[in-house]
């Protein structure tokens, strides 16, 4: 029997180290992903940063290809990342994904030197392919390391790396580009951070608590017993219930919500600066403070949401499902109103436009707790697969958004045309959250069970070839499976 002390687990342990590693991973990946905005400015306008480095005369169309090229590769390895980390483990897949991204950053100045913007696009596509495997691995890692009662906290803390990466990419990249190492230094620093993380990850990361060299007996028992696995769980490849996943109303609701979120967020982040420039005569991109302000608000609000969520859950004031839907409603429906409001402002009301944009992006950070972590709620065993599907579909959306804007907005200074764009985004936000509120849930799904497909296809439940272990199917239900005692390692 486990003692009460063991069942609570240590206050700080290796599970928190894993969460910190994920936070740093996301931050560093976003720095490498987003520094392109500063790099392109430095490459085409050397006087604005450091005139001692080469300048290129690229057209606006060529610059737009560079800015979007990362996602050309990123969307194609999301699903692959989900499969690979289930097959080979999170530790190795994450390591090579980040290492590959770092290599791309290192080679970027060399590629630009001999191939200009075409080569820059090419290396960015490869970087997108490398980073595409990361987020499915992150959700799988959180599922393996987070006790259910701490999953929301550890997951939300890890994902604040998104906001940290956004802000850091703007400030750090700008300062580096203006320094003595110029725009090549932006890439070299990004590469150095990626390689540093790889070294720390190699030492401290483990696919699951039972493989960790540093975890204590008490924490091991706490995590493993709370997850209610059988003793062979970590050595078994659980078959994927594809039909059950694709016919699951809660999963399809989550998929809809994430696609709608990316439509609205891409409008907030990519199109509102163009609106402010054309209609309100504001050059947001040339003002570092105004550019970073919405992301600073997003970063700060992410911790506000985290603290309030912990209070609500610990005091049992709401269920996890109610918490998810409430936070997602805040993240989606408040920007509905602010987007429409921005469309009615003119040049004399610029300050209000900045305030509404900051509010929109700031409150939208609630979507991390609202729906991003919902993949783990629905199925901890298949979290990487669910994230791979969701991220693949959702990342097609930012490719389509600019096309719709280009089709509707013929005159960049025509406010009535921009109002149509904002109304479309507001409707997408509203409808997407309605679907999630009606059909979404934070309750684990029946198809998450380790033996869900065993009676139909028992030969699929097998151990990886590298272990050489025999198959050991089980017909026990999830609730009937034996718990791991705190004395085992």
Span 363-419, pLDDT tens digits: 999 999 999 999 999 998 898 899 999 989 998 887 777 778 778 877 777 778 888
pLDDT above 90 (res 23): yes
Strand partners, 462: 237
pLDDT at 460: 41
337-379 per-position pLDDT tens digit = 998 888 887 777 778 888 888 898 889 999 999 999 999 999 9
Q: How far apart are CA 1 and CA 413, in angstroms?
A: 70
Q: How far apart are CA 255 and CA 253, in angstroms?
A: 5
Confidence band, pLDDT 50/70/90 cuts, at residue 469: very low
pLDDT at 439: 96
| Range 144-171 average pLDDT | 87
Contact 127, 134 (CB under 8 A): no
Strand partners, 237: 462
Confidence band, pLDDT 50/70/90 cuts, at residue 229: low
Q: How far apart are CA 466 and CA 68, in angstroms?
A: 39
Range of lowest pLDDT (39-53, 83-97, 122-136, 319-333): 39-53
pLDDT above 80 (res 276): no
Q: Which residue has the higher pLDDT, 181 or 1?
A: 181
pLDDT above 60 (res 194): yes
pLDDT at 456: 52
Would you state the CATH architecture of domain 238-448? Answer: Up-down Bundle (1.20)
pLDDT at 30: 92
The structural domains of the chain, with segments of one domain joined by +, span 11-230, 238-448
Topology of domain 11-230 in CATH is Growth Hormone; Chain: A; (1.20.1250)
pLDDT above 50 (res 458): no
pLDDT above 60 (res 489): no
Question: Considering the chain, what is the average pLDDT of its residues?
Answer: 82
Q: How far apart are CA 105 and CA 194, in angstroms?
A: 9
Please give the model's pTM, rounded to 2 decimal places: 0.80
Confidence band, pLDDT 50/70/90 cuts, at residue 60: confident
pLDDT at 128: 93
Q: How far apart are CA 69 and CA 439, in angstroms?
A: 35
Would 11-230 and 238-448 be classified into the same CATH topology?
A: yes
Contact 85, 240 (CB under 8 A): no
232: number of Cβ within 10 Å: 16
pLDDT at 399: 76
pLDDT above 60 (res 66): yes
pLDDT above 70 (res 288): no
Contact 33, 73 (CB under 8 A): no
Count how many Cα atoms sit within 13 Å of the Cα of residue 153 in the half-sphere of its side chain: 15
Contact 369, 324 (CB under 8 A): yes
Q: How far apart are CA 233 and CA 35, in angstroms?
A: 41
Q: Which residue has the higher pLDDT, 134 or 227?
A: 134
Per-residue 3-state assignment (H helix, E strand, C coil) for 313-382: HHCCCCCHHHHHHHHHHHHHHHHHHHHHHHCCCCHHHHHHHHHHHHHHHHHHHHHHHHHHCHHHHHCCCC
pLDDT above 90 (res 330): yes
Confidence band, pLDDT 50/70/90 cuts, at residue 270: low
Helices (H), 236-319: 242-246, 249-266, 272-278, 288-314
């Amino acid at each position: 029997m486990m003692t009460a002390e063991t069942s609570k687990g240590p206050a700080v342990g290796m599970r928190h180290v894993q969460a910190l590693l994920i936070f740093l991973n996301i931050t560093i990946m976003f720095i490498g992903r987003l520094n392109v905005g500063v790099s392109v400015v430095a490459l085409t306008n050397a006087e604005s940063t450091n005139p001692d480095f080469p300048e290129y005369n690229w057209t606006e169309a060529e610059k737009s290809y560079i800015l979007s090229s990362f996602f050309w590769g990123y969307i194609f390895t999301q699903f692959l990342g989900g499969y690979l980390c289930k097959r080979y483990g999170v530790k190795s897949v994450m390591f090579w994904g980040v290492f590959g991204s770092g290599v791309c950053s290192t080679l970027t100045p060399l590629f630009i030197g001999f191939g200009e913007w075409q080569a820059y696009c090419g290396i960015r596509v490869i970087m997108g392919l490398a980073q595409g495997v990361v987020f499915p691995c992150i959700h799988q890692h959180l599922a393996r390391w987070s006790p259910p009662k701490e999953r929301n906290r550890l997951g939300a803390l890890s994902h604040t790396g998104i906001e940290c990466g956004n802000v850091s990419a703007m400030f750090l990249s700008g300062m580096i580009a203006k320094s003595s190492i110029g725009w090549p230094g932006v890439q070299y620093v990004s590469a150095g951070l990626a390689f540093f993380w790889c070294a720390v990850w190699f030492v401290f990361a483990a696919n699951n608590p039972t493989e960790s060299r540093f975890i204590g007996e008490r924490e091991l028992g706490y995590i493993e017993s709370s997850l209610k696995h059988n003793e062979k769980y970590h050595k078994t490849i659980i078959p994927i219930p594809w039909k059950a996943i694709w016919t699951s109303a809660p999963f399809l609701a989550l998929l809809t919500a994430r696609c709608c979120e990316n439509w609205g967020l891409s409008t907030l982040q990519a199109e509102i600066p163009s609106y402010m420039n054309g209609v309100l005569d504001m050059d947001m991109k040339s003002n570092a403070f105004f550019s970073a302000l919405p992301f600073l608000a997003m970063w700060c609000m992410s911790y506000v949401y985290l603290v309030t969520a912990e209070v609500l859950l610990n005091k049992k004031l709401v269920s996890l499902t109610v918490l998810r839907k409430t936070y997602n409603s805040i993240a989606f429906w408040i920007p509905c109103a602010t987007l429409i409001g921005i469309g009615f402002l003119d040049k004399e009301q610029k300050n209000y436009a900045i305030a509404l944009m900051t509010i929109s992006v700031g409150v939208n950070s609630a979507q991390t707790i609202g729906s991003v972590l919902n993949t783990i709620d629905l199925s901890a065993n298949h979290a990487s697969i669910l994230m791979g599907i969701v991220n693949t579909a959702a990342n097609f959306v930012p490719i389509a958004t600019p096309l719709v804007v280009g089709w509707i907005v013929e005159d960049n200074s025509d406010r009535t045309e921009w109002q149509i764009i904002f109304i479309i985004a507001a409707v997408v936000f509203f409808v997407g959250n309605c679907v999630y509120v009606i059909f979404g849930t934070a309750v684990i799904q029946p198809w998450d069970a380790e033996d869900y497909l065993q009676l139909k296809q028992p030969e699929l439940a097998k151990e990886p070839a590298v272990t050489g272990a025999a198959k050991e199917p089980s017909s026990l239900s999830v609730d009937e499976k034996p718990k791991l005692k705190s004395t085992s390692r």
